[in-house]
Amino acid sequence: MKDSLLEVKDLEVTFFNRNGKVRAVRGINFDVKKGEILGIVGESGSGKTVTNLSIMGLLKGTGKVTKGQIIYKGENLLNKSEKEMLKIRGNDIAMIFQDPMTSLNPVFTVGNQITDVIMRHQKLSRKEAKKKTIEMLKMVGIPSAEERYNNYPHEFSGGMRQRAIIAMALSCKPDLLIADEPTTALDVTIQAQILELLKELKEKLNTSIILITHDLGVVANICSRVVVMYGGMIMEEGSVEDIFYTPLHPYTKGLLQSLPKTGGKMKERLIPIKGNPPNLANEIKGCPFADRCPYTMDICREKQPKYYYDGENHRGMCWLLDKSINGKGENHEE
C-alpha cells in the first residue's frame, strides 16, 4: 500500500469492566490514501467510533488498544507519548463530531475557540490568528464572518455551527480529517450543504477524510471507498461502485435492501435486517453476522471466515465467497 496516509493494521480494542471484557474492535485492517474520502459504515456499536478514537489516542475510560498498529506517515501513533499526540491532534489529524449543538463551548465566542486552536499549533500572534480565523469562517461559507467572529454558539444555527466546527477542524490544514457522523444531527437540506462543503474543502486543501456514518446515502454522495463494519470487524471493503453494484457480503446486501430507493416501485417494501447486533462481551467463534444472516451455514458459527477478493481492492469476509464450500464462487482466496 504505497501512497497511504494512514494504515490501520490488525487493530484490536478492548474495554475492561467489572464483568469482564468487551472486544469492541476485533482485528481490523484498512488504509486511507492521500486526498481520498473513505467511508466507514455500520450500525451503532459496530466499532466505527472506537476505531477512530483510537487513531486520535482519545479512547476513554477502560478502553485500550490491545493489539495492532496505527501507522500515520510511517510512524506508529500508538508508540507516541501524550505530549507528541497533543501536537498531532488538531494539527495533523482533526476530528469533527455528530452534534454541532454541543460541540462548541457555550461561554466562549465561536471566533475565540477557533483562534485558540490556531494559536495552539502555529506560532502566530492573536491578531494574525484572528485574521486566519475569519479567513476560515469565510471559506466554510459563513456570511459576514467579521461580525460572526464575536458571536456565541447559541447565536448560530445548527448548520452554521457545524460549518464553524469544520472551520475549527481545518484551521491548521490537517492532512487527515475524521468526520464522525457530521450530518446526522442536521436536517436534510443542511446535510447536503455540509457534504458539499466537505467535498469542496477536500479538493481545496487536499485533506484526506474518514467519514463515519450509518447512512449509505451519505456514502454514495461523497466517498470514493467504503469500509463496512459489523461487530467490531470489517465485513467488506471496496470502492463505492463495488459496494453499491456488486456487494459481496450478505450484511452489505441487507443494508442496501433496507434503503428506500428513488424510482423504485411505489409499493416496494423495505426489507429490514432482522435481529440485533451481537453482544461484544461474548466470545464470537465464527462470523459475527451469523445469527442474523439469511444464508447461515454450519461453518459460519464455528469458524471465522477469511477475506475473499473480487478484484484487487474489493474484499469480503464470508464463507459464501469460498468456492470450495459454495461451489459457484469465482473469487480467489487471500
Partner 1 sequence: MRRLIVKRMLQTIPMLIAISIVSFLLIKLAPGDPVQAYITPEMGPTDIERIRENLGLNDPIHIQYIRWLKNVLKGDLGYSLVNHRPVLIQIKERLPATIGLMSTSLIFSMIVGIIVGLLSAANQNKLFDRIVTLISYLGISIPSFWFAMMLIFLLSLKLKLLPSIGMRTIGVHSTWDLIKHAIMPTLVLSIQNIAVIARYIRSSTISQLKEDYVIVQLAAGASRNEILYKYVLKNAILPVITILGMSLPSLVSGAFITESIFGWPGMGQLGVTAIFSYDYPLIMAITMFSSLILILGNLLSDVLYSVVDPRIKELN
Q: Footprint of partner 1 on this chain (CB under 8 A)?
A: 56, 58, 86-91, 94-97, 99, 102-108, 116-117, 120-121, 152, 154, 165, 168-169
Nearer to partner 1, 65 or 318 (CB): 65
Q: Counting Cβ atoms within 10 Å, is residue 89 exposed (0-12), middle (13-18) or buried (19+)?
A: middle
Residue located via cell numbers 480529517: 177
Nearer to partner 1, 8 or 95 (CB): 95
Amino acid sitting at position 83: K
Nearer to partner 1, 161 or 249 (CB): 161
Shortest distance, position 214 Cβ to partner 1, whole Å: 19
CB-based contact 167:44 (threshold 8 Å)? no
Nearer to partner 1, 105 or 246 (CB): 105
Shortest distance, position 94 Cβ to partner 1, whole Å: 7
* Phi, psi for 230 (deg, rounded to 5): -155, 130
Shortest distance, position 117 Cβ to partner 1, whole Å: 5
Strand segments (E) across 206-295: 208-213, 225-230, 233-239
DSSP secondary structure, 176-200, as one string: EEEEESTTTTS-HHHHHHHHHHHHH
Q: Reduced to 3 states, what is the DSSP secondary structure of residue 48? A: helix
Shortest distance, position 221 Cβ to partner 1, whole Å: 24
Nearer to partner 1, 88 or 219 (CB): 88
- CB atoms < 10 A from the CB of 285, how many? 12
Nearer to partner 1, 5 or 117 (CB): 117
Residue located via cell numbers 477542524: 169
C-alpha cell at 60: 476513554
Q: Which of 105, 171, 113 is nearest to 138 (CA)?
A: 171
Sheet holding 4-17, edge to edge: 20-33, 4-17, 63-72, 75-76
Shortest distance, position 154 Cβ to partner 1, whole Å: 5
Shortest distance, position 64 Cβ to partner 1, whole Å: 17
* Rounded Cα–Cα distance for residues 87 and 91 (Å): 6
Shortest distance, position 90 Cβ to partner 1, whole Å: 3
C-alpha cell at 137: 469562517
Nearer to partner 1, 63 or 286 (CB): 63
